[in-house]
A and B are shown apart, each in its own frame.
Chain A
Amino acid sequence: MITKNEIEKVIEDSIITEYPNSGQKKVFLVRDVDLNVKIVKVVKYGDERILREIEIVTENRIPNVPEIYDVKEFVDSSGIKYNYIIEEYIEGITLTEHLKKNSLNIVEGLKLLDRLLNITVVLENIKVVHRDIKPDNIICSSNGDYYLIDFGIARQLDKSSLTMTQALIGPHTPGYGAPELFQYSKKDIDIKSDLFSIGVVLFEALTGQHPFLTGDEWDVNEIWYRTRTVMPKDYLIEGDRNKQLISFIQTLMQRHTTRRPATAKKALEWLHALIPSLGLGGE
């Protein structure tokens, strides 16, 4: 794979830091000549999944998703062709890092839920499923907002699947992916799969505990088994009057798609109906 020095020369920006390798891409935080800080992702040229990610983000205005400024290509010294993608930098930390220190309180949780559901409403309209909503892919910005990143395994429902038809397991992160993703029931995959992941993320963010996993799972099969079978605890969240919020979160992460809200739009409407009844005031 291409070296950091080679990349620095090509992009003509100075690399502030290199993030740990993420799948097939290298990710850097860079500063350009005008001192703007940006994200640069370097990937093998022509990767279908990356092209779809670029297409989804650039062709649609998705709120709380970092903007893609530019996509360029170059060839390294050994003749291998690459794309590099220049993206908006959101200053902050991932939700994973945040949760290592603190859980979210109910006001923060409602804000995160609102942001994620607003994103899924747009995704639903453009027939896209993110398929990888998890704390690692959520940025808690320094100004107290939340952003969803990494559309690397997003699925465009009106385009052919990039996963082999015979595949038994679809792309997802175990523990956050809905059962229909790992059972790879393609016909059942739609925005409701993202609603499931949002439910898991919110449960974990608010309670500090994963709804299905204990952390000592033996292997991925056990994670899948627990996702399919474990009933999340009926948790009491401070400020959750009549347990309405936890009921909503549990509804989002029902293992049967038929028991989740039928659409992201409906889920967002219900969230907006639920918030005033909690009597929290403000957002």
Chain B
Amino acid sequence: MKLYLQFGWGMKNLVLDFAKVWNDVNVILSPRDITPKQLLTWSKEFEKTNVSCLFDPQCYFPKSNHKRLSQYTYWNNTMSTNLSSNENYETTLIRNIYSYNEIVNSKKFIIPAIMRMYDDKWIDRWQADSIKLIDATRQVVNGKEILLTLALPSDLLCQSEDIIEKMIGISEQYDVDGYYIIVEPPNGQYLVDNPLWLSNILQLCAGLKLFGKEVIFGYANQQMICLTTAKVDAIASGTYLNVRKFSNKFDEPDGEIKRKSVWYYYPEALSEYKLSFLDVAYNSHVLGEMKSTEYSNPYINLIFSGIMPSSTAFNETLAFRHYLDALQEQIKLCSRDSFKDTVLANEILLSTAERRIEFLEENGVYAQARSFKDIIDVNKSAIQRLQNTRGFLLEYSWNSI
């Protein structure tokens, strides 16, 4: 599994910087955060540095009036109505989105989807939308792989597995190369404590992979390292929480990005800690324990420079770079040559996190809202369910999916 960058506000320089240090940088561009003019100039800069771009048209909430999204030619606030009524509308929509894909020179074309609220007719509506959009894409798009967006509301993912299996069965028939999966977390949670929600995601991803489809999972955070067990091709993550989890607040102005605290990601604990709690660790003489051995990088040197962390110049920019670099390393470490080894690597990751969190808490160091403590069992449960249901298939297909 690879780590893609989910483009968000203020991420241009980060992408360019990572292009210098990472071998292979893939970014999913976000028209919510880039004007069409910037898209033109920035994508040229990205191309020069060998950054591969994908264009997510972000049609999740077609009736929103986002100031940047609405500058794009494909944007139309009435799209929701049109998608279900006008046959030619889809072709025009895809043609317009395709023009931006040409600008960014994408190798893969993302077909948009609406984040529809879940109800009894959800599957029918999803099928109807998907069929029309895939047909239109096949008419318009040539020479690019085609990924269909699956925009999945939290209520759908909290249903029984039957509905997910139904989706998998239907998806097998679609004439696409893969899927770009976007999931809504229940109650806007960053780390989700509902095991069924995560289990359904794992089942869906594994089911699609077993049909030979590519799967890219958007708006992800460290909880999604477990998707290595489904052999997902890539997860995408970014800086602020609004690109590490999917949010329905697409109308937010830039000022909404709140910069209250700087969080340090301690990879071994799968948790993030505020600088104020790093100060507690410093006082308790356990700060050195929080320096990652396996996922070390220069971005965090200031924290471990021997002085009180909050008095250093460690800032958001460094915290973001460290988070993404460490996440990438963790993904690499968990992506193994067999299903069994991948499960084992994930289990080690989780049990290590459990021990590290406990140790730090014993020393008064808490991760508060970004603690993985209550999430460990959620991830273990989802992986266990995957083993029980698709373990054999994954083990024996691992090298061909």
> Which A residues contact B (CB, under 8 angstroms)?
188, 231, 244, 247-248, 250-251, 254, 256-259, 261-262, 270, 273-274
Contact = CB atoms under 8 A, between A and B. Distances in A.
24 contacts: A188-B169, A231-B388, A244-B392, A247-B391, A248-B392, A250-B392, A251-B390, A251-B392, A254-B389, A256-B161, A256-B162, A257-B169, A258-B165, A258-B168, A258-B169, A258-B172, A258-B207, A259-B165, A259-B207, A259-B389, A259-B390, A262-B210, A262-B211, A270-B396
B100 to A, nearest CB: 34
Given A231-B388, A256-B162, A259-B165, 13 more contacts: A244-B392, A247-B392, A251-B393, A256-B165, A257-B169, A258-B165, A258-B172, A258-B207, A259-B207, A259-B389, A259-B393, A270-B396, A273-B396
Q: Find the residue from B172, B388, B393 having the highest chain A CB count within 10 A.
A: B393
Nearest to A244: B392
Contacts of A254: 389
Report the 6 A-B pairs with minimum CB-CB distance, sorted nearest first: A256-B165, A251-B392, A247-B392, A258-B168, A270-B396, A258-B165
A231 B388 CA distance: 10
B355 to A, nearest CB: 28
A259 B207 CA distance: 7
Nearest to B395: A247
A244 B339 CA distance: 14
Interface in B163-210: 165, 168-169, 172, 207, 210
Contacts of A188: 169
Contacts of B210: 262
Interface in B373-401: 388-393, 396
Nearest to B161: A256
Interface of B: 161-162, 165, 168-169, 172, 207, 210-211, 388-393, 396
A150 B345 CA distance: 48
A252 to B, nearest CB: 9
B130 to A, nearest CB: 17
Contacts of A257: 169
B337 to A, nearest CB: 16
A270 B396 CA distance: 7
B386 to A, nearest CB: 11
Nearest to B387: A247
A119 to B, nearest CB: 21
Contacts of B211: 262
A259 B161 CA distance: 11
Contacts of A251: 390, 392-393
Nearest to B400: A266
Nearest to A187: B169
Nearest to B393: A251
B325 to A, nearest CB: 37
Contacts of B162: 256
Contacts of B161: 256
Contacts of B389: 254, 259
A171 B207 CA distance: 28
A274 B395 CA distance: 11
Q: Find the residue from B168, B211, B396 having the highest chain A CB count within 10 A.
A: B396
A247 B396 CA distance: 11
Contacts of A274: 396
Contacts of B207: 258-259
Contact of A261 (B165, B391, B393): B393
